[in-house]
Chains A and B, each alone.
Chain A
Amino acid sequence: DAGVTQSPTHLIKTRGQQVTLRCSPKSGHDTVSWYQQALGQGPQFIFQYYEEEERQRGNFPDRFSGHQFPNYSSELNVNALLLGDSALYLCASSLWTAVDSGELFFGEGSRLTVL
């Protein structure tokens, strides 16, 4: 049973560029959340997708956008990259109907470096 998979694992971009990160949820899961983890800090919630719609959003600018596909996989897009966007981006999946149980399954993340 495959867990949450993310790609790419590492990438380097320059300021002003755009980046797309990808996530495949754990088998059977239909809800995907994205978190940003700056070096030495705890993760911060970016947004959550269910049924191809953004359901919740954290305190992130519109440069951060996402998408969910019919197979439940998801993309995180960041436009006009800033140095401060350098971070580990974590994807987490869960089952919408079990949201009350609170357990998320995380991927290993995509490490983005902005130069």
Chain B
Amino acid sequence: AQTVTQSQPEMSVQEAETVTLSCTYDTSESDYYLFWYKQPPSRQMILVIRQEAYKQQNATENRFSVNFQKAAKSFSLKISDSQLGDAAMYFCAYRSKAAGNKLTFGGGTRVLVKP
């Protein structure tokens, strides 16, 4: 079974600075997707960024970028120019291409942004 591990329960960053969130996963499959979701206090999960395992190029979405290391099974998220609105829980998630809509989530990292 696949597992996703987020080793940082909480990270603090100064506004306008950069923070990197770690995620590792375990799988025997070669074709899958990885995601970062943001969950603000409103509780709604919002997709931040997505990476397809067969793509070598790291995904980027505006201030958000990932460092995908397939051999190391590592998938970190970098938030640049942090804003107060970035404060939330961030979850790393894995989905096998054969698994339909079944996402396997990590335990989450709380991001605090200091003004």
Contacts and interface: CB of A to CB of B under 8 A. Distances in A.
- Residue of B42, B50, B101 with most partner-chain A CB within 10 A: B101
B33 A102 contact: yes
A103 B45 contact: no
Contacts of A48: 100-102
Interface string A90-115: 10101000011011101111010000
Chain B interface secondary structure, helix, strand, loop or mixed?
loop
B91 A106 contact: no
Contact of A92 (B45, B97, B106, B108): B45
Contact of B101 (A40, A104, A107, A109): A104
Interface of B: 4, 33, 35, 42-47, 50, 91, 93, 95, 97, 99-108
B103 A104 contact: yes
A88 B104 CA distance: 16
Nearest to B106: A42
Given A102-B33, A102-B50, A56 B99 contact: yes
Nearest to A58: B102
27 contacts: A31-B101, A33-B101, A33-B102, A40-B108, A41-B107, A42-B4, A42-B107, A44-B105, A45-B104, A48-B100, A48-B101, A48-B102, A56-B100, A56-B102, A58-B102, A90-B45, A94-B101, A102-B35, A102-B50, A102-B95, A104-B45, A104-B47, A104-B103, A106-B45, A106-B46, A108-B44, A109-B44
Contact of A43 (B45, B46, B95): B45
Interface of A: 31, 33, 35, 40-45, 48, 55-56, 58, 88, 90, 92, 94, 99-100, 102-104, 106-109, 111
Nearest to A56: B100
A95 to B, nearest CB: 10
A42 B103 CA distance: 10
B103 A103 contact: no
Given A48-B101, A92-B101, A103 B47 contact: yes
- Residue of A42, A43, A107, A109 with most partner-chain B CB within 10 A: A42
